[in-house]
Amino acid sequence: MNHLTRRKFRLFRPTQGQSFVELALVLPVLLLMLLGMVEVAFFISRYLDVLDLTREAARFASVRGPMETSDLDCSTTDALNFFYDTACMMSPPADQAATCQESKYCNGFNPYLMIDLTKDDVVISVFTVAENSVSGQLPEHNGYWALSNVDFADNKDLNLTDDADTLTNNFWRDCQGNEVRDKPYYTADKVNDSLLTNAPENKGFVAVEIYYCYEQVLGIPIVTDIIPNPIQIRAYTIMPLPAAKPTPTNIVATPTP
């Protein structure tokens, strides 16, 4: 090896080693960013699924009457329970037999996500607006209906009873079980704040909300140390409900403060 070759070897060897060190330092960060982007894409997709479900449920409810509370069966077409059947729109299709048998909540339009009845919740509220102010809210004794309060074992709807002590209200809590709220997103005050002064004074609305615990698909360790896993997705839709419009024969209870 002549003098010139040895000189070139000494010049280039440290540079090549430095590149490998830089690659070793940057590559994990790049991989973490890439995996994070993939996780965000999954999260956004699931959020859009949840949002679409609230819209479909609100559309279903908007052409029906809130006073119909006949049965707790998603498959019956001749008997309607306004609140429960609206929540059924977010349940798995009937052909997912194992899921339906396990949860007793199926025959809906939701093949993408499984509602966990121990953590997730669907909340439905009906508002009657008279003279451009909320004058009534259903269900009467608590002003909202929550799927978590359906007693599947005894086929009872605890939302429509007067025993508030039996209500579970999963939506009160986050996915870690911490109580973070004591009321739904849509309340009488929220609706009043959203009303337009130049709109018709008498009308009705139905609000559908879902509280869903999203399990991270990739479960990246560093990400899960910062962002809770599962993390709660909340989506809301409110639509006009002609059947809740105040009439001489349609008297709705005064909303709960």
- Quick one: three-class SS letters along the chain? CCHHHHHHHHHHHHHHHHHHHHHHHHHHHHHHHHHHHHHHHHHHHHHHHHHHHHHHHHHHHHCCCCCCECCCCCCCCCCCEHHHHHHHCCCCCCCCHHHHHHHCCCCCCCCCCCCCCCCCEEEEEEEEEECCEEEEEECCCCCCEEHHHEECCCCEEHHHCCCHHHCCCHHHECCCCCECCCCCCCCHHHHHHHCCCCCCCCEEEEEEEEEEEECCCCCCHHHHHHCCCCEEEEEEEEEECHHHCCECCECCCCCCC
**212/96: higher pLDDT:** 212
- Determine which of 10-24, 29-43, 65-79, 170-184 has the lowest per-residue pLDDT on average: 10-24
Nearest in space to 176 (alpha carbons), one of 230, 124, 127: 230
14 pLDDT above the threshold of 60:
no
67 pLDDT above the threshold of 70:
yes
Exposed/middle/buried for residue 134 (C-beta within 10 Å: 0-12, 13-18, 19+)? buried
Q: Tell me the range of 70-79, 100-109, 155-164, 227-236 where mean pLDDT is highest.
A: 227-236
CA gap 124, 86 in Å, rounded: 8
Mean pLDDT, residues 210-228 taken together: 85
**219/253: higher pLDDT:** 219
- Cβ proximity of 218 and 38 under 8 Å: yes
254 pLDDT above the threshold of 80:
no
99 pLDDT above the threshold of 80:
no
151 pLDDT above the threshold of 60:
yes
Exposed/middle/buried for residue 161 (C-beta within 10 Å: 0-12, 13-18, 19+)? middle
Cβ neighbours of residue 80 closer than 8 Å, sequence gap 6 or more:
64, 68, 70
pLDDT interval class at 11 (50, 70, 90): low
pLDDT at 17: 66
- Determine which of 39-43, 84-88, 139-143 has the lowest per-residue pLDDT on average: 139-143
CA gap 251, 240 in Å, rounded: 17
- Determine which of 14-23, 82-91, 135-144, 153-162 has the lowest per-residue pLDDT on average: 14-23
Six-digit token string for 205: 């609305």
Delimit the domains of the chain by residue range.
3-244
Mean pLDDT, residues 90-115 taken together: 76
pLDDT interval class at 249 (50, 70, 90): low
- Determine which of 6-15, 73-82, 88-97, 232-241 has the lowest per-residue pLDDT on average: 6-15
- Determine which of 31-45, 93-107, 222-236 has the lowest per-residue pLDDT on average: 93-107
CA distances, 137 to each of 66, 99, 103, 202 (Å) = 10, 33, 29, 14
Q: How far is CA 83 from the centre of its chain?
A: 16
8 pLDDT above the threshold of 90:
no
pLDDT at 241: 95
pLDDT at 199: 81
Q: Which pairing describes strands 203-214 and 231-240: parallel, antiparallel, or unpaired? A: antiparallel
pLDDT at 102: 64
Q: How far is CA 70 from the centre of its chain?
A: 26
Six-digit token string for 124: 């439905």
Task: Provide the mean pLDDT of the chain.
Answer: 83
